[in-house]
Amino acid sequence: MVSTLNKTDELKGQSIVISGGGIGGAAGALALSLRGADVTLFERAPEFKEVGAGLQIGPHGWRMLEGWGVIDRIIAAGYLPQDMQFRDAITRETILTLSFDEEFEKHYGGRYLVIHRSDLLSILVDAAREAGATLHNGATVGESRRTETGIEVDLEWESKEGPATFHADAFLAFDGIHSRHRHHLVEDAPVPSAYVAYRGTSKLQEDEAMKDLKSVIGYIGPHVHFIQYPLRGGELLNQVAVFESKRYLEGREAGDVPEDWGNPEELKQAYTHCSEFIQDRLDTLWTHNWWQMSDREPLLKLNHGRMILVGDAAHPPLQYLASGAVMAMEDAEAIAIFASDAANAGNLDWEQIFEEVSAERAPRCARIQTTGRFWGELWHLEGTARLIRNELFRQADRTGWFQYADWLWGYDASKREYLKDPSKGELPKEIQEWRYALLEKNREVNA
Of 69, 82, 73, 70, the closest CA to residue 111 belongs to 82
Task: State yes or no: residue 431 binds a second copy (CB under 8 A).
Answer: yes
Of 346 and 400, the one with the shorter C-beta distance to a second copy is 400
Of 189 and 387, the one with the shorter C-beta distance to a second copy is 387
Distances in whole angstroms, Cα of residue 329 to Cα of each of 26, 153, 413: 9, 23, 10
Which of the stretches 23-31, 193-201, 341-349, 376-384 binds a second copy when contact is defined by CB under 8 A? 376-384
Applying the rule CB under 8 A, the residues between 386 and 425 that interact with a second copy are 387-392, 395-396, 398-399
Which of the stretches 79-87, 118-126, 327-335, 380-388 binds a second copy when contact is defined by CB under 8 A? 380-388
Distances in whole angstroms, Cα of residue 324 to Cα of each of 2, 64, 111, 321: 27, 14, 17, 8
Q: How many residues bind a second copy (CB under 8 A)?
A: 24
Applying the rule CB under 8 A, the residues between 51 and 110 that interact with a second copy are 91
DSSP 224: E
Of 134 and 395, the one with the shorter C-beta distance to a second copy is 395
Of 277 and 436, the one with the shorter C-beta distance to a second copy is 436
**One of 83, 260, 377, 412 touching a second copy (CB under 8 A):** 377
Task: State yes or no: residue 437 binds a second copy (CB under 8 A).
Answer: yes
Task: State yes or no: residue 195 binds a second copy (CB under 8 A).
Answer: no
Edge-to-edge, what's the strand order for the sheet holding 291-295? 94-99, 83-88, 216-221, 224-231, 236-244, 191-203, 291-295
How many CB atoms within 10 Å of residue 101?
12
Distances in whole angstroms, Cα of residue 392 to Cα of each of 329, 396, 404: 32, 6, 12
Angle subtended by helix axes 59-68 and 402-409, to nearest 10: 40
Of 214 and 273, the one with the shorter C-beta distance to a second copy is 273
Of 286 and 404, the one with the shorter C-beta distance to a second copy is 404
What's the closest the beta carbon of residue 395 comes to a second copy, in angstroms? 4
Q: Is 346 left (phi over 0), alpha (psi -120 to 50) or beta?
A: left
Distance separating alpha carbons of residues 39 and 132, to the nearest angstrom? 8
Binding site for a second copy (CB under 8 A): 91, 374, 377-378, 381, 383-385, 387-392, 395-396, 398-399, 429-431, 433-434, 437
